[in-house]
Amino acid sequence: MKYFIPTILFCVPAFLLAQSIAPVAPATASKLTDEQTANIIKQLDQIESLITKNRGDSFKNALARFKAGEANDKDALSLYLDCHRLEHFERKDLKQTDFLVWKDKNEDRHKDPEFLIGLRLQLEYLVICISAQDATEVAPLISALQAFIPKAVSAVQSTMTHSSTGALKDKDKGNNNGGGGRQLLDTLRQSVTGTDFCKAYLLDDLLKKQDWEYAPLGISGTYQNVIFPYYLKNKPAELPAQWEARINAELLLRKAVTSETEYQLFYKENYPQLLWTKNSYLLKNNITPISALADMLKIVRENQTHANANSWVKELRQAVIETQSTDASASTTEATSLSTTPESTAPAAKN
């Protein structure tokens, strides 16, 4: 099917000349008649409908197989092997025996629980991505993404453990083929458009939705491109909670895959920056602006040695000036909060 659509488009000019454009006497004619124009537009509409139908059929077929595959490890592995054989052996005109040799060499890997978890999560996220391409209702996609991110983070957490000194180590699986949680982490950070599932079904060129994140654990991109815009448009009052969910997910993931010392260094540098980015976003979009300013002042006050402290002071000063000039009638109650230290709850990931 991937080759069928371009072939149709390639043949359009000859097709149109043969059936749509009546011969024109002067060889130098450079304009189409109204009838010729109407005929061409009609046929282009028909071709566009065919292309849309073919694309829809591709998505429908893939969705059915992927939903079945994500149900359990056995079905996920079976689908993966079918896709891998098609993409890497059959389309390269290799022998079935070549595939069987490859399969035997990777038998231990294919039994690795973490490898199977990765397959199922890839399939689950592919289903979400496919559903998003022509979706008219965004709310179900948001719910699916909000359910998927904690599940993916939890899966990575379950594959990693720390020693009594805080050092990171892979959980003992009894073999050396899985690579521990690192392998799962790498798998979920890659775009699903590069998976054997996607390539076997010729979807890599069809997943073209803009403002979307195609990496299952692309937490920042998912919130920035999909979740935040939805809440900004439909539920702005809930944006602060969504920012907290994003920050906590990123911290939990980082804590799972680094040593305790590495995490504390990351937390010290990045948590204040994440909070700053959150409140800067809220202020820019006029979501609880006075509270955002208060939190920004608190961040600067408590992180004066941070590498970005100087730029934060400049940004905050400018924001205060702009807020004063655009909203001189701000209530005394709200303004008073700038002189106090707001209470905040550190994310669970810190402990």
Round to whole Å and give the CA distance between 133 and 126. 11
pTM for this one? 0.78
Q: What Å distances lie between residue 172 and 43, 49, 113, 179, CA to CA?
A: 62, 54, 12, 10
Tens digit of pLDDT at every position of the chain (351 positions): 444 344 334 444 444 444 444 454 444 557 888 888 888 887 776 666 655 655 656 667 889 999 999 999 999 999 999 999 999 999 999 999 999 999 999 999 999 999 999 999 999 999 999 999 988 899 999 999 999 999 999 999 999 888 888 898 766 544 444 345 678 999 999 999 999 999 999 998 889 899 999 999 999 999 999 999 999 999 999 999 999 999 999 999 999 999 999 999 999 999 999 999 999 999 999 999 999 999 999 999 999 999 999 999 999 999 998 887 665 544 444 555 555 544 444 455 554
Query: What token pair was written down for 188?
Result: 């979920």
